[in-house]
A = this chain, B = another copy of it.
């Protein structure tokens, strides 16, 4: 166990406090990041249905496929008797859903009647909680009034403990090693896939002191003209002279993520790219200088927009998001977004991926900095040069 039992207790108290504020008698947690946060349960089992029942008072109960429930005790602090496995024949089968069974088991456990007529929160926008799952719960538990928990646990996660910050510093070391590996391998004539392979290897090896975990997203390398679109993955084409290669990756340590982006130039950059790179560097620097407790998310976005406007540029998308625990397909927390519509007030030990990604016509540029809000300002997690990287210069 990497997190102390008392810290798990703190987390649960934080969740129950929010449940009380939102008027919830119970909460059903299915986001694997939230499951991990509350229990330590960590396995690649989220492609089948699983859910943690969190009552306002009383024991947590985890439901998973039998083969996964069997060993839940190996990673979580939950006593094995509070973990129930549903039958395997309910997996991936038309006409039935594992949550039919879960509804029956909750009834058997005697926890349904006590919350009859009351509000029970569901994570209605979680990746691994399907409409079929939702409809199974509604049908099985008609006494409960299901409402959207609106990322309740994710919001509790947004302020990090000292233990979590330590994990993120380890993840930052891995991110730095992985990005340095990219700088070393992006060369004219190298196949994109071979560079992605070296990055992936570096991410998983970690350091001599501690191993890396799998990142929630594979290395992204939009290249050349295709770098006008952010989320394309690699091909086996070789890199060519004159291409700018956007590298976006994360270091992951015990499921905590520190993402990082740089753009690597093969050969001579165009004047347009240089202009965008200068503007983005200036914008990121100006935003970092604004970060402190009490500032609002939208203040950072406004600063960014102001700097970009002086260069005749604009970016019609958010410039960052809250980070921490992640499972595929996302390392963001889905809470705070750095954009003009977001009035969240920054607090000490919130952590963000601040990301200047410019998707232009037939080229792109990206520069990012992962960071923590400190008592008085900002701590950046990494310290690589914040500029367009010349592939030649480091060879």
Enumerate chain A interface residues (CB-CB to B < 8 A): 42-47, 66-68, 70-71, 74-75, 87-89, 91-94, 97, 122, 124-135, 148, 150-151, 191-194, 196-198, 200-206, 210-214, 217-218, 220, 226, 228-236, 316-318, 321, 327-330, 332, 334-335, 337, 339, 341, 357, 359
Contact partners of A192 in chain B: CB under 8 A: 211
Chain B nearest Cβ from A197, distance in angstroms: 4
Q: Is the CB of A211 within 8 A of B234?
A: yes
Known: A44-B217, A214-B218. 12 other contacts (CB 8 A): A42-B233, A43-B232, A66-B317, A68-B229, A68-B230, A74-B226, A74-B229, A89-B341, A125-B133, A131-B131, A193-B204, A204-B234
Q: Is the CB of B211 within 8 A of A75?
A: no
Contact partners of A47 in chain B: CB under 8 A: 127, 217, 329-330, 332
Q: Is the CB of B337 within 8 A of A229?
A: no
Given contacts A66-B317, A337-B93, whether A232 and B74 have CB atoms under 8 Å apart is: yes
Q: Is the CB of A231 within 8 A of B44?
A: yes
Q: Which residue of B lies closest to A90 (CB)?
A: B341
* A119 CA / B65 CA spacing, docked (Å): 33
* A357 CA / B334 CA spacing, docked (Å): 36
Q: Is the CB of B44 within 8 A of A329?
A: yes
Contact partners of A218 in chain B: CB under 8 A: 44, 214
Contact partners of A337 in chain B: CB under 8 A: 91-93
Chain B nearest Cβ from A121, distance in angstroms: 12
* A217 CA / B194 CA spacing, docked (Å): 19
Contact partners of A122 in chain B: CB under 8 A: 131
Q: Which residue of B lies closest to A73 (CB)?
A: B229
Given contacts A43-B229, A68-B229, whether A130 and B129 have CB atoms under 8 Å apart is: yes
Given contacts A197-B201, A211-B194, whether A229 and B130 have CB atoms under 8 Å apart is: no
* A52 CA / B313 CA spacing, docked (Å): 32
Q: Is the CB of A132 within 8 A of B125?
A: yes
Q: Most chain-B Cβ atoms within 10 A of its Cβ — which of A75, A205, A228, A317?
A: A205
Chain B nearest Cβ from A261, distance in angstroms: 14
* The one of B46, B194, B204, B206 that contacts A329, using a Cβ cutoff of 8 Å: B46
* A42 CA / B220 CA spacing, docked (Å): 13
* The one of B68, B88, B201, B357 that contacts A198, using a Cβ cutoff of 8 Å: B201
Q: Which residue of B lies closest to A339 (CB)?
A: B89
Q: Is the CB of B67 within 8 A of A359?
A: yes
Contact partners of A71 in chain B: CB under 8 A: 226, 228-229, 232, 359
Chain B nearest Cβ from A49, distance in angstroms: 9
Contact partners of A75 in chain B: CB under 8 A: 232
Q: Is the CB of A130 within 8 A of B126?
A: yes
Complex A-B: 28 CB contacts under 8 Å: A42-B233, A44-B217, A44-B218, A44-B231, A67-B229, A68-B230, A68-B231, A71-B229, A71-B232, A74-B232, A88-B339, A89-B318, A89-B339, A89-B341, A91-B318, A92-B321, A94-B151, A122-B131, A125-B130, A128-B329, A193-B205, A197-B205, A198-B201, A200-B204, A201-B201, A204-B234, A210-B236, A214-B218
Given contacts A70-B228, A88-B316, A234-B211, whether A128 and B131 have CB atoms under 8 Å apart is: no
* A210 CA / B124 CA spacing, docked (Å): 41
Given contacts A68-B230, A124-B135, whether A205 and B211 have CB atoms under 8 Å apart is: no
Q: Is the CB of A148 within 8 A of B124?
A: no
Q: Which residue of B lies closest to A48 (CB)?
A: B330
Q: Which residue of B lies closest to A237 (CB)?
A: B211
Q: Which residue of B lies closest to A131 (CB)?
A: B134
* A98 CA / B142 CA spacing, docked (Å): 29
Contact partners of A332 in chain B: CB under 8 A: 47, 92
Given contacts A88-B316, A92-B337, whether A43 and B231 have CB atoms under 8 Å apart is: yes
